[in-house]
Amino acid sequence: MMNVSREWKNAIAIIGITVVIYLLVKPKKNGLGKPEKASKDEVKRKGDARTILDAYINATEAGEKPSELSKLNSIFADEYGMKVFRTKSGSFVARTLDGKDVLIAR
């Protein structure tokens, strides 16, 4: 077995500890990368959701009766495949007929 001096053992220990500390502290390379592009369908769906939310909120603020708001939602369902719902917090959400939230207006 090789005989290593105390100075070499200390140097190796210091280098080892330094490498371990560096690996723990160095920033992770998550990077932002290339931004994802929304498909044309997603962009259109968000635009449609904005349209129906605006119409529904305007009707609500104008004091329309719940029966009229229900008719409005029926039209939205036929034309856009979405309806507007009011959340417990008072926000409005445009939701697909299968229950996926598309856009929320607070």
Q: What is the mean pLDDT of residues 17-36?
A: 77
Measure the CA–CA gap between 92 and 104, rounded to whole angstroms.
6
Length of the chain: 106
**55 vs 3, higher pLDDT:** 55
- Where does the pLDDT of residue 25 fall: very low under 50, low under 70, confident under 90, or very high at 90 and above? confident
Sequence-ordered alpha helix ranges (H) in 26-102: 40-61, 66-80
pLDDT value for 35: 72
Work out the widest C-alpha separation in the chain, in whole angstroms: 93
